[in-house]
Amino acid sequence: MDNLKVIVVGAGMGGLTTAIAMEKAGYQIEIYDRVTALRPAGAGISLWSNGVKVMNRLGLGQQMAQIGGPMKRMTYIHKSGNLLTDFSLDPLVEAVGQNPYPVARTDLQQMLLTALGPEKVQLNAKCIAVEQTADTATAIFENGHRATGDVVVGADGTHSIIREHVLDKTTQRRYAGYVNWNGLVAANAELADQESWVIYVGDAQRASLMPVGAIAFTFSLMCRCLMTLSPKQI
Ligand SMILES: Cc1cc2nc3c(=O)[nH]c(=O)nc-3n(C[C@H](O)[C@H](O)[C@H](O)COP(=O)(O)OP(=O)(O)OC[C@H]3O[C@@H](n4cnc5c(N)ncnc54)[C@H](O)[C@@H]3O)c2cc1C
């Protein structure tokens, strides 16, 4: 299909990546986000080799290597301090031909935004509905704007409006019983091996330190949480 016009709703990881890929494929894109300013946020995300290969195909391989951390091993330690396992990721990398890269989420988001061109993201545009005919798809925004194209891509995250349209029903989000806290700390050899993703496991608990970039660890603490949250809070 040539000359498609693609309307992307949401300029998070998924929306930005889709917009870059669609533009590279020669399609015309419009991308919208409900926020008034895109402010990269978050702690760390691990992009495994398949995700990095996608970035390579989008021409972002060099940038990925610059923002990615040197993750060479994975180490699991029991809460008692006993080593459970420690293994090299070399066989995986050899088999698939690509390093995984843990990255700071802010770096990843900024990289994607720069690659697309931040001026292309139309802000302050909250999608409230989608309409579809045999030939067109239209995203309708709270500010009255209507964006019509051949395809509307719903990249509007976990509280997606567009999901409802695609599934033709409302879905109830279910609290899985776990909460995960993430943050960034300065890399320090006394905390953990700077080339290893170190994961401490306990009963229904997990804490980990993963090297992102050259100078930081992202820490993550996940545990079973018995509090009851309403779907709006999750
Ligand atoms: C602030 C933040 C910090 C995070 N930190 C981490 C982390 O440290 N580690 C980790 O592993 N994961 C983290 N995550 C989760 C991870 O980034 C997401 O799972 C991943 O980004 C999902 O990508 P996405 O593009 O589907 O959705 P999102 O990244 O959530 O992007 C959705 C975008 O759509 C926009 N949007 C939503 N509704 C509408 C609407 N109706 N109309 C228009 N635009 C809309 C939102 O403003 C947002 O920009 C974080 C997510 C967020 C939002």
What pLDDT is recorded for position 232?
Answer: 46
Least confident among 74-83, 106-115, 178-187: 178-187
Q: Check pLDDT > 90 for residue 218.
A: no
Distance between CA atoms of residues 124 and 186, nearest Å: 35
Ligand 1 touching residue 165 (CB < 6 A):
no
Q: 35 in ligand 1 pocket by Cβ < 6 Å?
A: yes
12 lines ligand 1 (CB under 6 A): yes
pLDDT the model gives residue 39: 82
Written as one string, the DSSP assignment of 141-164 is: ETTS-EEEESEEEE---TT-SHHH
Closest CA to ligand 1's atom 26: 157
Q: Is the pLDDT of residue 225 over 80?
A: no
159-179: string of b/e by CB count within 10 Å (b at 16+)?
A: ebbbeebeeeeeeeeeeeeee
Q: Are 12 and 155 in contact (CB under 8 A)?
A: yes
Domain 5-38+123-167 has CATH 3.40.50.300: no
Q: Helix, strand or coil for residue 176? A: coil
pLDDT at 68 over 50: yes
Atom of ligand 1 nearest to the CA of 33: 44
Give domain limits for the chain.
5-38+123-167, 47-104+174-224
Higher per-residue confidence, 232 vs 190: 190
**CA 12 – ligand 1 centroid, Å:** 5
Q: Tell me, using a 6 A CB cutoff, whether residue 10 lines ligand 1.
A: yes
In this structure, the residue with its CA closest to atom 5 of ligand 1 is 42
pLDDT at 224 (0 to 100): 64
Q: Ligand 1 pocket test: which of 153, 156, 159, 182 has the largest number of ligand atoms within 8 Å of its C-beta?
A: 156
Residue 33 φ then ψ, to 5°: -145, 150
Over 50: is that where the pLDDT of 26 sits?
A: yes
Say whether pLDDT at 38 is over 90.
Answer: no
CATH topology of domain 47-104+174-224: D-Amino Acid Oxidase; Chain A, domain 2 (3.30.9)
- Note whether 83 and 75 are within 8 A (CB): yes
**Dist. CA 42 → ligand 1 center (Å):** 9
- Confirm whether pTM is higher than 0.85: yes
**Is 11's C-beta closer than 6 angstroms to any atom of ligand 1?**
yes
* Exposed/middle/buried for residue 61 (C-beta within 10 Å: 0-12, 13-18, 19+): middle
Please tell me if the CB atom of residue 156 comes closer than 6 angstroms to any atom of ligand 1.
yes
pLDDT value at position 226? 57
